[in-house]
């Protein structure tokens, strides 16, 4: 092992992955897409491919059991995992789950966790086809592999956006982040005084978006009905800015995003103001939205115009233009990504 020590902190998730995997090459002709997208793509016939993704969720990093019910946790982990396959324009079909738990958890807790997993399988028409259960020296860890199959020409990647394509997001952004802020605030209040009941009234929408998000499988159906195939796509798990950077860098392009176009629910804005946070900052960098971010050809604009599920927030540009953010006053500043 090298004596050189480089701290992980400050490296960033995507640069770390690139550093660790840059010397790996694909040796199998069936590997159509390896590392570098939301999921891997493996050829299974002349016309079809299998899309595979895996996600891990660690107690204390991705979830806090002080305010996360186990049923909600099971459901959310499935949603987060299948969102990666959906972001390839593919309907997820099967999942495999591995769980590691310490002996501080009784069987009843695992039953509740799997009840949430079962509910997600019902909602998203998934088959749980295998997995593993192991002891852990501390805490809980959950890993989920998602599988889907599709025609090869149906699959959408991150690296195929084109200059002048429109940038589109689904739903509204920032609500899960503000839900997390509320839960963290009440956690600290409880730790200081366990006799005080949490003040969660009026925040149902924000809390549900954090504790029980939904994957946008429905968007794939809408796009098919509208006869629109995205030119590039990614799911919004790390924040709008960070995930848009992934499309830009993979496609070798720049972008312009307009502050006034970013969809933010009124409840999100009100909560952000209460926390002295700019609502747009919550949308750009909050993460955990599990909405879809995609690009479409300019010629497809009329097909999605006015659709309540989709909002055009900007456009792709040449790489030399950079990644730009245009605020409500028309000022142009560099777009910054502050996710993990």
In the chain, the number of structural domains is: 2
Mean pLDDT over the full length of the chain: 93
Residue 103 in domain: yes
Residue 3 in domain: no
pLDDT value at 14 more than 70 = no
Asked if residue 119 and residue 218 are part of one domain, the reply reads no
How far from the centroid of its chain's Cα atoms is residue 7's Cα?
Answer: 25
Asked if residue 315 and residue 266 are part of one domain, the reply reads yes
Q: Are 262 and 240 in contact (CB under 8 A)?
A: yes
Distance CA 38, CA 55 (A): 10
Asked if residue 176 and residue 97 are part of one domain, the reply reads no
Residue 230: give the domain boundaries.
166-334
Asked if residue 306 and residue 198 are part of one domain, the reply reads yes
Instruction: Identify the H or E element spanning 258.
Output: strand 253-258
- Residue 340's pLDDT band (boundaries 50, 70, 90)? very low
Last residue of a domain, one of 129, 154, 179: 154
Residue 6 in domain: no
Residue 308 in domain: yes
Asked if residue 194 and residue 120 are part of one domain, the reply reads no
Residue 94 in domain: yes
Residue 8 in domain: no
pTM > 0.85: yes or no: yes
Last residue of a domain, one of 124, 154, 184: 154
pLDDT tens for each residue of 16-63: 777 777 778 788 899 999 888 899 999 999 999 999 999 999 998 899
Residue whose token pair is 């929408």: 205
Instruction: Assign residue 58 the CATH number of its domain.
Output: 3.30.1330.10
Residue 131 in domain: yes
Instruction: Assign residue 317 the CATH number of its domain.
Output: 3.90.650.10
Distance CA 281, CA 265 (A): 13
pLDDT tens for each residue of 266-309: 999 999 999 999 999 999 999 999 999 999 999 999 999 999 99
Asked if residue 123 and residue 37 are part of one domain, the reply reads yes
Asked if residue 181 and residue 61 are part of one domain, the reply reads no
Q: For residue 329, with 0-12 CB atoms within 10 Å meaning exposed, 13-18 middle and 19 or more buried, which class applies? A: exposed
Closest CA to 149 of 77, 94, 231: 94
């Amino acid at each position: 092992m090298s004596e050189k020590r480089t701290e992980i902190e400050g490296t960033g998730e995507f640069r770390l992955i690139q550093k660790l995997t840059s010397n790996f090459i694909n040796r199998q002709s069936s590997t159509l897409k390896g590392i570098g997208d939301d999921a891997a793509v493996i050829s299974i016939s002349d016309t079809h491919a299998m899309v595979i993704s895996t996600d891990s969720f660690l107690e204390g990093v991705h979830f806090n059991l002080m305010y996360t019910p186990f049923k909600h946790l099971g459901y959310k982990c499935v949603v987060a995992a299948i969102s990666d396959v959906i972001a390839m324009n593919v309907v997820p079909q099967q999942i495999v789950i591995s769980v590691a738990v310490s002996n501080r958890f009784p069987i009843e807790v695992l039953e509740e966790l799997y009840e949430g997993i079962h509910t997600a399988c019902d909602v998203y028409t998934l088959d749980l086809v295998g997995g593993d259960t192991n002891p852990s020296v501390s805490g809980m860890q959950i890993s989920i592999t998602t599988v889907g199959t599709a025609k090869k020409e149906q699959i959408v990647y991150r690296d195929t956006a084109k200059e002048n394509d429109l940038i589109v997001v689904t739903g509204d952004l920032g609500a899960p982040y503000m839900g997390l802020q509320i839960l963290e605030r009440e956690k600290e209040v409880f730790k200081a005084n366990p006799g005080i009941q949490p003040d969660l009234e009026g925040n149902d929408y924000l809390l549900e978006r954090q504790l029980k998000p939904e994957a946008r499988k429905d968007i794939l159906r809408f796009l098919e009905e509208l006869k629109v195939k995205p030119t590039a796509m990614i799911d919004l798990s790390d924040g709008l800015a960070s995930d848009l950077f992934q499309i830009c860098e993979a496609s070798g392009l720049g972008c312009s995003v307009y502050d006034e176009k970013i969809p933010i629910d009124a409840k999100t804005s009100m909560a952000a103001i209460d926390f002295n946070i700019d609502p747009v900052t919550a949308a750009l960098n909050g993460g955990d939205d599990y909405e879809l971010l995609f690009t479409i050809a300019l010629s497809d604009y009329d097909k999605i115009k006015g659709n309540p599920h989709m909002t055009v927030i900007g456009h792709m540009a040449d790489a030399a233009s950079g990644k730009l953010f245009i605020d409500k006053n028309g000022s142009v500043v560099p777009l910054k990504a502050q996710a993990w």
